[in-house]
Structures are given as C-alpha cells and as structure tokens.
Amino acid sequence: RWMWDTLLDVLGRPGSWELNGALHYGAPLLFVPLLLLGAWYLWRQHREAGLVLLMPAVVALAASWASLYPFAGRFVLFLLPALLLTIAAGIVQAARVTRSRWVGVLLAVLVGVVSARAAVRTPPPQRPEDLRPVLETIARSRHPGDATYVYYGARQAFLYYRTMAGFESGSYVIGRCSRYHADWMIREVEQLRSFGRVWIVASHSTNQAQEISSLITHLRSTGRELDHVLPPDGDDAEAYLFALNPPVGAVGTGSDVFPGTPSWECGGPAGESAAR
C-alpha cells in the first residue's frame, strides 16, 4: 500500500491532471504498469543502463521508507527524466511482448495525449511572486501593535525580506502548512484576534486559491477589511488588513489548531514554524 501511494504521489492520482512538482498525469493505471514493464525490460536487456536509471529511484524510495527523505513533489524532480525513459522502455517492451507494433503506437499515443493534457492544464510560465513591494507597503502603513499572519506559501520570501521591511521577531506568525485544510488557517488567525489589527500576507497561493478565499471570507464576515495591498498585474503576492473584534471565550491551543504534522509538501523547512 505504501509503495502504491508513493508512486501515485509522483505519477498522479486519478483525476489530478496537473503538473505540480511531479508528473501528476492522473492515469496511474496506464503509467504504473508501463513503468514496471520498462524496469523489467531494462533489467533483462540493458542491465547497466537500467541500473544507472533506476538506482537513484531505489535509493530515494528506501530513504523515504525509512522516513529520511520525502519521495514526493519537487523533491523527486531529479528522478523524472529516468522515470519517463523507463516508461518509454515499457512501451517498447509492450510491443515486443504482444509482437505488434500497433500496440506500441497506441500506447505512445495514449501517453502523449495524457501528458499533453497535463501540460495544457498547467501552462507555463508560472506567475511571478514578488513579495517585496507588498511588504514595503505594509511597512509604511503598519501601526504599532499590528499583528502579521504569513500564509505558509509566502514564508521563505517573507523570511528573506523581513529585516528589510522592519518585521521584528514576535510581530508576525508564519502559518503552519495547511494544504487542503483552510480551517487550520482560520483557527490560527483567530488566535491573533486580540491584536485588533491583523495583516494577512499571501503569495504562492494561486494553486490553492480556495484556502486564501476561505480565510478572507471568514475574516470579512467576522471583522472589517481596512486595506487590500494589490499585487502588480499578474503577480501572485498580496496582503489584507483587517480590524478584528476581541475574542469571545477561550482561544484554542496550538495542538487544537494543528492536529497533523508539518508537511514537506509546503516547501520544506523554512527556519521558523508557526506551530507554537
């Protein structure tokens, strides 16, 4: 089960259809058999080449199984060329086993269509994420005592520019990885309600737009939006300022807000964590 889930993290689960740090072709029942067939073909016919292609993947898988390395997303980009070559070898072997070149042609067309669809769904170039002008605007507009909440996708850029923008330690909270859990972000920001004025800093959020949308909708319904720092045209970086009413009742603890463990899927360690 672990091996199947790990392969799906790279090749894509059914219906994923987007490139997001891995192939994410969304057709595992096509690509996994071709990958295994290609590995078998390389081992039998071109063993030295097969070892060169496959040993890095075997080592990375072993490290992942031992919880020493995350076998997912951008952390396995270096393996993708070898995986694609192995899949191509699987197409060749399928044609050899069936003794029909048309089987190879059909499989090649299917692979081409699926991969083209993923590329169309995620076309380059990606949007720029220049957070610096956003932080400079906040630095000019911020009041003493304002709190700043940093969306987890913006944490590396924020930590890089924080000194330049005058953010002292303790004046901001870097959001915990909340992928697919917008409610975690909402509950975390609720802990800042006692500050009265809270800035929300976001970038690298286009692919997870529902998370930010849910958070902003919640804050608009429970507070008052004072400012929206818009990014340059086409940029994926922005900030909001909210005036929030004082909290009512007890505020949840960190363990209440964050039931899971930090995820490498959100960019790896950034040097600071909001899980306090």
What dihedral angle (degrees, nearest 10) is formed by the CA atoms of 173, 178, 181, 187? -20
Rounded-to-integer distance, Cα 230 and Cα 11, Å: 36
CA distances from 208 to 49, 201, 202, 220 (A): 39, 15, 11, 19
Mean pLDDT over residues 203-217, rounded?
Answer: 84
Tokens of 242: 């909210």
Mean pLDDT over residues 37-48, rounded?
Answer: 91
Mention every residue, 6+ apart, whose C-beta is less than 8 A from residue 143.
197
Tokens of 104: 């190879």
Roughly how many angstroms between the first and final C-alpha of the chain, as a whole number? Answer: 33
pTM confidence score: 0.62
Rounded-to-integer distance, Cα 53 and Cα 76, Å: 14
Supply the pLDDT for residue 211.
85
Question: For 126-149, what is each residue's pLDDT tens digit?
Answer: 667 888 999 999 999 999 989 999
234 — pLDDT class (breaks 50, 70, 90): low
Q: Look up tokens 């915990």; give the residue.
A: 176
Rounded-to-integer distance, Cα 160 and Cα 126, Å: 21
Q: Is the confidence at residue 269, as pLDDT, over 80?
A: no
Q: Is the confidence at residue 4, as pLDDT, over 90?
A: no
Helix 2-11 and helix 80-98, axial crossing angle in degrees, nearest 10: 100
